[in-house]
Amino acid sequence: MTGIGGSTAAAELGALHPWATPAPAITRDERRARIDRARTLMAGAGADMLIVGAGASLRYFAGLAWGATERLVAMLLPIAGDPIFICPAFELGSFEAGIGIDGDVRLWEEDERPSALVADALRAANATTLAIDPALAFLFVDRIRRDAPHVTLIDASPVIDGCRMIKSPAELALLSQAKAMTLEVHRRTARILNEGIRASEVIRFIDAAHRALGSTGSTFCAVQFGRSTAFPHGLPQDDILRDGDLVLVDTGCLADGYHSDITRTYAFGDVGDDIRAIWTIEHEAQAAAFDAVRPGEPCEAVDAAARRVLERAGLGPDYRLPGLPHRTGHGIGLSIHEPAYLVRGDTTPLAPGMCFSNEPMIVVPDRFGVRLEDHFHVTETGAAWFTAPQPAIDDLG
């Protein structure tokens, strides 16, 4: 067989150009508003100071794209006054080049304890309660506890998640761009498929296509053919595409740090009526989850709506197979998976500005799986898609 669209990787890549209308970057004013919001939530939690470690949350508040390592890089946010940044002395140049807000930078040498700088800041502020970033490594938390034994440590999740879960218009625009880029890559990927192509070749094309659109490449990429689609995250093998295979492609990219994460499942040739029937049920479950979104409803209600569709079709119940083995969706933003979650037990009320994946996968054990994944954001009245769902098993839209 030729490719689904009869095209080649070179032709598809040659037709791609950097995104013509990139969304604006997050401004300093927006970051200052985030700081103000965090302080309001800190007051409600009884925290005198907040510590945010390197990673997505530090980027959210301070604009600093810095990965977590064994060296402490962090922001201390007092309930009043300038933010305080803790940074290795030899990294100062890189730190200053990346930081997106103003603050007091305090440096530590390689033979010093950065936790002592944290303790000093707590004492100077007369702080008795420190809210800890839940992503901060225990290594640092334990050393802060030892150096500041007078301070009560509390979970900062209500503060950090309370800020990050609700996306601003600027964040929604960046998320929309990332998802539009990945959807374009999906369409072009389907057109290069041909019998005998390896999953690794498709993965390389997807990464190159994301780069051609102006992203830094794929943040992840899963390409699964045939039986491998029955495993939600694939098998450790390089699948070879055959006529009659089901194809599952799950991939994403970044727009100024904000994620896409879109999955398409489609037929390569004649996949059989049983697979087409499951695809249709999956499509209905995804639509039911979307229709269940209402501000004020708990997140778990969306998961329940998808599962009701599957149960009516004789699948499941719960996490039993054939059926849906995982949650219906996850929050998304600067992290690809972030609170809240569309899963039983998460009673977080849905609110305008929240963003989620919608992916109630159906697995038929050891045979095949179908996952359709698009993302939506909560509006004042319901939900709005970032990307339109796939219309049919033979049509990516």
Burial of 286 (0-12, 13-18, 19+ CB in 10 A): buried
* Local confidence band at 35 (pLDDT 50, 70, 90 cut-offs): very high
What pLDDT does residue 6 have? 75
Spell 48-62 as b/e; 16+ CB within 10 A means b.
Answer: bbbbbbbbbbbbbbb
* Local confidence band at 5 (pLDDT 50, 70, 90 cut-offs): low
Report whether pLDDT(310) > 70. Answer: yes
pLDDT digits (tens, 9 = 90+) for 38-73: 999 999 999 999 999 999 999 999 999 999 999 999
**Crossing angle for the helix pair 138-147 and 114-124, to the nearest 10 degrees:** 50
- For residues 204, 239, 249, 361, the Cα torsion angle rounded to the nearest 10 degrees is -150
What pLDDT does residue 2 have? 39
pLDDT digits (tens, 9 = 90+) for 198-222: 999 999 999 999 999 999 999 999 9
Cβ contacts of residue 187 below 8 Å, gap of 6+?
Answer: 396, 397
Distances (CA, A) of 27 to 34, 41, 63: 11, 21, 9
What pLDDT does residue 1 have? 31
Q: What is the DSSP string of 159-194?
A: HHHHHHTS--HHHHHHHHHHHHHHHHHHHHHHHH--
Our CA angle for 50, 357, 352, nearest 5°, is: 60
* Local confidence band at 4 (pLDDT 50, 70, 90 cut-offs): low
Cβ contacts of residue 98 below 8 Å, gap of 6+?
Answer: 63, 64, 65, 66
Percent residues over pLDDT 70 in the chain: 99
Q: What is the DSSP string of 218-242?
A: -SEEEEEEGGGGGSTT--SS--B--
CB 67 within 8 A of CB 94: no
How far apart (Å, rounded) are the C-alpha atoms in residues 385 and 357? 10
* Chain center to CA of 288: 22
Find, among 195, 180, 181, the residue nearest to 4 by Cα. 195
Q: Is 296 left (phi over 0), alpha (psi -120 to 50) or beta?
A: left
CB 340 within 8 A of CB 358: no
> In the predicted model, what is the mean pLDDT of the chain?
97
How far apart (Å, rounded) are the C-alpha atoms in residues 217 and 194? 23
pLDDT digits (tens, 9 = 90+) for 211-254: 999 999 999 999 999 999 999 999 999 999 999 999 999 999 99
Distances (CA, A) of 118 to 131, 218, 270: 12, 36, 63
pLDDT digits (tens, 9 = 90+) for 148-195: 999 999 999 999 999 999 999 999 999 999 999 999 999 999 999 999
**Crossing angle for the helix pair 199-212 and 169-192, to the nearest 10 degrees:** 140
* Local confidence band at 108 (pLDDT 50, 70, 90 cut-offs): very high
pLDDT digits (tens, 9 = 90+) for 265-283: 999 999 999 999 999 999 9
How far apart (Å, rounded) are the C-alpha atoms in residues 101 and 50? 16
Terminal-residue alpha carbon distance, the chain? 21
Percent residues over pLDDT 90 in the chain: 98
How far apart (Å, rounded) are the C-alpha atoms in residues 103 and 116? 19
The mean pLDDT value for 285-295 works out to 98
What pLDDT does residue 3 have? 46
